[in-house]
Chains A and B, each alone.
Chain A
Amino acid sequence: MGARMLAWLRNPLSVAIVAIILLLVAGELLSPGFVSQRQIITLLKVAALLGVVAAGQNLVILGGREGIDLSVGGIISFTAFLAGNVMQQQDALLMQGVVLVLAAAFAIGLVTGLGITVLRIPPLVMTLGMLGVVQGGLVLLTRGVPSGRAAPTLSRMVSEPLMLGLPGILFIWILIGAALTLVLRRTTFGFNVYAIGTNEAAAALAGVPVRRTRALLYALSGFFAGAAGILLLGYTEYVFVGAGDQYMLPSVIAVVIGGTSLAGGSGGYVGTMAGAIVLVLLQSILTTLNIPPFGRQIVFGVTLLGLMLLYGRQRRLRG
């Protein structure tokens, strides 16, 4: 019983869930009324945005070989801008915008993936370089001035209640979560992802198409960043040039808090969803507290380090 309890406590997903409950209690104690339906729904909307970005991040991290995608922030800004300019506040252009933007984001991710697999550039460097290119391209297109607006249906989807009082973005997130979990646990592609993340050489010998799988992971990361860009546009109606930057490193952290190992090969998306909620809850509690921005920042950083202490630790060199 004791051992089981301990194992349960060691499981990152359960730690994240406990953290969510503790944060909710803390929030309610610190500012009564924190746990209201409206507040929770607002929080989940923000968490869904982060969660969609983290879906792609989760995939490239699972694929191992120091997988990470630092270009997601740039892709979000870029695609939000693109979507707004295609849609121009017209519902008739909504589908066109969505398809075009997702294709563009997938293509950007694919280029990154090919750089990493064919040219064998380390992911950190390749995605960092891609970030520079995408940001530069965005400045060229926008000239630093925000433009474009979301189609009204998109804004309604994201912000207003769709069913059971919940906004559409939550259903989209849950759908993505279910689909991704299914793909990772039940398809050949999913097995391949864990295989190359755990032991690439063994996977290659077992006939897994290592390069194709990994390139596809980065393309999918671009795709999810693009989806997040569209949702962000819907959430804020129009976006400023650097709007996506704030999602880059938090997406990595959501994945880590959710129990996916940065070494690759172990973890899953359900944990990441919980991780995204933990991060957003934490930020929101710090915002409701009456402390200046710098204090919030310090507490946030220290809490992240504290979370690392719980389960972000690497194995010992000894033994």
Chain B
Amino acid sequence: MKMRLALSTQRRPYLMAVMVFLVLCVINAILQPSFLRFGVAASNVAAFLPMILVAIGQTYVVLASDIDLSAGTIVSLVNVAVVSIIDGMGGSGMSIALGLAIGLGAGLVCGLVNGLCVAVLRFQPIVTTFASGIVFAGLALWILPEAGKQVPPAVYRAYGGMVLGIPTVVLILLAAIVVAAFVSRTPFYHALRATGGNMQAAYQSGLPVAQVRIGAYTMSGLFASLAGVALVGETASGDPLIGGALTLSSVTAVVLGGTALKGCVGGVTGSILGAFILGLINNVIFFAQLPFEWQGLIQGVIILAALAGGVVMERGRQS
């Protein structure tokens, strides 16, 4: 039995995250009896969705043993770009379509730039994406210097509403999961993990390492831009600083989900769970009615403990 469990955690690095997630769900349900109600669950998904999307994109980059510290600023950039285009063109259906298209395109280009710098110009990933993040944040402030502007009600009604009886946010989450499941069955994904496992070996066995890393950064940019669009629906306005905190929390979610920063090991499933865990920790702290001042410290300690726990579990598994 023990061996079977060991084997299964080896094949599924996210099992630890599943356990933490379930424990947090139980605690949350005790503290907040309405937690399991459909409407509350949907509103939780809506609140966590941007972080989930950024974490999915971050996973691809981390699997290739790189990191994207610009993801949060891409979210901000896309958020203000979409809102400004829709607002500037008068909020017609055409303007909404164009805004979304340009927003997603911008995220894609940002990711592509990161990928080219890291994989072709051979810049160091941490410093590069930090520097490019400064540029993206500057562009966001250029487009919209301070939070404001509005999108027409149709946008946030569609986002907060239902399609065929299912909340739009849940559909977006499901769509993201389907896309991720599809990607994980492509040759790209296998090349990605090979690259993360041993870049030199992957290169020497003929894998297109540079293209794969560029692809991973592009995916990160794309998912970050989806998060930016989701935030347009959620807040109905633009904010050039809205994505700032998402960068580090996306990395945290990825690690909580069992993906190794060294690359190769892990996957999107874990990262989605990791993002849920981070969101639920906030919920639990809120509903536990702790004094406001204690929230940050307790949140920090829980996250640190969860991170440490995950890593230590993994070590035990390997030895």
A interface residues (Cβ-Cβ under 8 A, vs B): 66, 68, 70, 115, 119-122, 124-126, 128-140, 143-144, 249, 252-253, 256, 262, 292-298, 300-302, 304-305, 308-309, 312-318
Contact = CB atoms under 8 A, between A and B. Distances in A.
B153 interface: no
Contacts of A129: 252, 300, 303-304, 307-308
B131 interface: yes
A119 B311 contact: yes
Nearest to B136: A301
Which of under 10, 10 to 19, 20 to 34, or 35 or more describes the interface residues of B?
A: 35 or more
Contacts of B134: 297-298, 300-301, 304
B122 A316 contact: yes
Interface in B132-159: 132-139, 141-142, 145
A125 B307 contact: yes
B251 A318 contact: no
Given A124-B251, A317-B200, A119 B126 contact: no
3 closest pairs, A vs B, by CB? Answer: A136-B296, A297-B138, A132-B300
Given A124-B261, A256-B124, A301 B132 contact: yes
B307 A249 contact: no
A253 to B, nearest CB: 6
Given A140-B293, A294-B142, A304-B134, A313 B122 contact: yes
A308 B122 CA distance: 9
Contacts of A134: 300
A294 B145 contact: yes
Given A66-B261, A301-B132, A305-B132, A122 B311 contact: yes
Given A120-B311, A121-B307, A298-B142, A136 B300 contact: yes
| Secondary structure class of chain B's binding surface, majority of residues | helix
Contacts of A309: 121, 123
Contacts of A132: 296, 299-300, 303-304
A298 B123 contact: no
A132 B302 CA distance: 10
A295 B138 contact: yes
Contacts of A315: 122
A180 B265 CA distance: 38
A313 B118 CA distance: 9
Given A66-B261, A308-B124, A312-B124, A294 B138 contact: yes
| Secondary structure class of chain A's binding surface, majority of residues | helix
A136 B295 CA distance: 7
B315 interface: yes
A135 to B, nearest CB: 6
A136 B298 contact: yes
A247 to B, nearest CB: 13
A297 B135 contact: yes
A304 B251 CA distance: 23
A282 B262 CA distance: 33
Contacts of B136: 301
Contact of B296 (A70, A122, A135): A135
B248 A128 contact: yes
B261 A256 contact: no
A126 B298 CA distance: 16
Contacts of B295: 136, 139
26 contacts: A125-B251, A125-B252, A125-B255, A125-B307, A128-B251, A129-B300, A132-B303, A133-B301, A133-B304, A139-B295, A139-B296, A139-B297, A252-B130, A293-B141, A294-B138, A296-B138, A298-B134, A298-B142, A301-B132, A301-B133, A301-B135, A305-B128, A305-B132, A305-B135, A308-B124, A313-B124
